[in-house]
Every structure is written in structure tokens, then in C-alpha cells.
């Protein structure tokens, strides 16, 4: 966990792709995309059906490691609105444990905007934590400090003729975009014009590495 400050709020960046706010013992994740494999399977593209349980195990490990009291999922927690209905028994049990153990908040996203029963916790369109707006997709017209997900940013470079990428946070003056936490999700180049246009001038990619937070400027 690497400390940094965003809009005068002290946070910890997790190497796994989440954030921790120590004063409220809150974990923040974005884009779990639970049941993505089963969603693809329904359309004939077969993927190993273990993404949900592996993602939830990662969440549980961080809840235990940080002793989190609250969890905020910043949208697209399920790959589609019926994803919760397809969870296997083990994943259901893990989710029930997590939502009973913490104050669990589901922020709706574009994939799961119609979700009605996420199996514990409560559903909101947006939330607020320590003066920071929490939402799924960044609103470039909102000047308030904001944390969001949606874009699955990855920092991409070419090394020795080979394209290399790693999940990253993207930070600007008032915008902070989280990488996807789901084990079966892809990503968008952090320097994509859509992300840069949302975050604004001075956007940087942040990658936690051991005890350091590496920062890379993104061309605007």
C-alpha cells in the first residue's frame, strides 16, 4: 500500500488496483465485472467460469489485510444486470460474507445500471467519501473532486519492439480514475484521448510498485 494525496485527501494505492482510505477504513474498487465469463458463454464464447470467485477472493484478502469496515464498488460490479443470478454457490457465499462483514455500497455502472438485487449491501447512483464524489464514469463538467472507474486504464509503452501494459490509476487536478479490479477485464490506453479529455491537463498514470508510486506523465 503506497500513500499519496488527492485533493488534500490522504489515500493508499493498492498494488491490486484499489484504494484504501484509512480514517474511515474504506476500500474502493471499480469494475469487478462479476460473471463476465458466463455472460460470454451465453453468446457462445466459452471462457473459464472462475472469474467471479477469483475476483471476490481478491476482495476478501484485501478486506482482511486492511481490516476494512466499508467497501465501495464503483460500478460495473456485474458484467450484466442478471449477473448476480448466475453466481455459483461458492461465490454467493463469499459475497454474503463480505456484505455482512462490511458496509457495502454498490454504485451502479453502465453494465449493471438495472441491477435490482446484488445480494447484500445497498445500491446508489453516487456516493461521497471525505468530500470526494464517488461515481462510475467521470463527469468532465463536474468540478468537484471525484473518483471513478469505467475506462479500465492501462499504462502502455513499447519496449524493444514489444508492447507492454500494466493497469494504472489516472490522476489529474480533480479526477482520479481507478483501474479495473476484475480478473477477466481488458483495458484502455491511459493516454487515450477520451481519458485525457476527461481528466484534463496534467494527467498522470500512477502504478504502485512495492513501496513506491511510479508516476508517468500522459501527453495531453
Grid coordinates standing for 81? 444486470
Pairing status of strand 26-29 against strand 19-21:
antiparallel
Q: Quick: pLDDT tens for 86-105.
A: 778 888 899 999 999 999 99
Edge-to-edge strand list for the sheet holding 162-167:
162-167, 153-159, 188-189
Please give the pLDDT value at position 162: 82
| CA nearest to 220, candidates 190, 197, 188 | 197
> pLDDT class for 185, splitting at 50, 70, 90?
confident
Q: What three-state secondary structure class fits 85?
A: helix
Q: Quick: pLDDT tens for 192-202.
A: 999 999 999 89
Q: What three-state secondary structure class fits 49?
A: coil
- 76 — alpha (psi -120 to 50), left (phi > 0) or beta? left
Q: Quick: pLDDT tens for 45-61.
A: 545 556 889 999 999 99
| Cβ contact 138:199 at 8 Å | yes
Q: Quick: pLDDT tens for 153-169.
A: 999 987 777 888 899 99
Does residue 136 register a pLDDT over 80? yes
Please give the pLDDT value at position 50: 65
The pTM of this model reads 0.90
Amino acid at each position: 500500500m503506497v500513500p499519496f494525496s488527492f485533493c488534500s485527501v490522504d489515500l493508499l494505492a493498492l498494488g491490486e488496483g484499489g484504494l484504501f482510505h484509512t480514517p474511515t477504513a474504506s476500500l474502493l474498487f471499480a469494475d469487478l465485472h462479476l460473471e463476465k465469463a458466463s455472460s460470454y458463454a451465453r453468446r457462445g464464447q466459452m471462457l473459464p467460469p472462475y472469474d467471479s470467485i477469483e475476483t471476490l477472493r481478491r476482495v476478501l484478502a484485501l478486506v482482511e489485510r486492511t481490516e476494512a469496515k466499508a467497501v465501495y464498488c464503483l460500478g460495473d460490479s456485474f458484467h450484466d444486470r442478471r449477473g448476480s443470478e448466475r453466481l455459483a454457490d461458492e461465490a454467493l457465499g463469499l459475497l454474503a460474507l463480505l456484505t455482512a462483514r462490511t458496509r457495502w455500497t454498490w454504485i451502479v455502472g453502465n453494465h449493471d445500471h438495472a441491477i435490482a438485487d446484488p445480494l447484500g449491501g445497498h445500491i446508489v447512483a453516487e456516493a461521497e467519501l471525505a468530500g470526494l464524489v464517488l461515481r462510475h464514469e467521470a463527469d468532465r463538467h463536474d468540478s468537484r473532486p471525484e473518483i471513478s472507474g469505467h475506462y479500465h486504464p492501462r499504462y502502455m509503452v513499447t519496449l524493444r519492439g514489444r508492447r507492454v501494459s500494466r493497469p494504472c490509476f489516472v490522476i489529474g487536478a480533480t479526477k482520479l480514475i481507478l483501474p479495473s479490479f476484475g480478473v477477466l477485464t481488458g483495458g484502455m490506453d491511459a493516454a487515450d484521448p477520451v481519458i485525457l479529455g476527461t481528466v484534463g491537463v496534467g494527467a498522470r498514470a500512477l502504478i504502485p510498485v512495492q513501496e513506491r508510486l511510479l508516476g508517468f506523465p500522459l501527453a495531453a
